[in-house]
Amino acid sequence: MNEDDIFAKIIRREIPADIVFQDDRVTAFRDISPQAPTHILIVPNKPIPTVNDVTEADEADLGHLFVVAATLAQREGIAENGYRLIVNTNRDGGQVVFHVHMHLLGGRPMGRMVAKPA
């Protein structure tokens, strides 16, 4: 685990971010490089590096990501039209920040599920 990853610092409010939700399990903040009108990252406060590192002990925290995603989708006004939730893992998944996070993307049609490599 890496207590010094960039998201851990955002969770501890050591560096600025547009935090839209925080409780004792998860923190949600707007992506610095939004790919859609709504692009929020929902992050367990525990610094789990990748989905490969998830254990049964994390089930409550990670299940809570979905509850927060549903709440934020309602709040953002995108629940009815729909949205996409993405969790990238390692190189082929396109993971850049090694602290598990769920992307909440919406506010426009999201297109094909995955892009073909160029």
Residue 5 makes contact with ligand DGP by CB under 6 A = no
Q: Does 37 bind ligand DGP (CB under 6 A)?
A: no
Q: Examine residue 31 and tell whether it contacts ligand DGP (CB under 6 A).
A: yes
Query: Does residue number 60 form part of the binding site for ligand DGP (CB under 6 A)?
Result: no
Give 4 or 56: the residue with its C-beta nearer to ligand DGP: 4
Please tell me the distance from the alpha carbon of residue 74 to that of residue 2, in angstroms, as a whole number: 32
Cβ contact 95:88 at 8 Å: yes
101 is catalytic: yes
Question: Which residue in the set 4, 24, 33, 113 belongs to the binding site for ligand DGP (CB under 6 A)?
Answer: 33
User: What tokens appear for 91 in the block?
Assistant: 């190189």
Tell whether the torsion through CA atoms of 63, 69, 75 and 77 is positive or negative: negative
* Gyration radius from the chain CA atoms: 14
Kindly name the residue from 39, 64, 99, 101 that is annotated as catalytic.
101
Q: Least distance (Å) from ligand DGP to the CB of residue 46? A: 17
Say how many C-beta atoms besides its own lie within 10 A of residue 1's C-beta.
12
Which residues contact ligand DGP (rule: CB under 6 A)? Answer: 6, 17, 29-33, 41, 88, 94-97
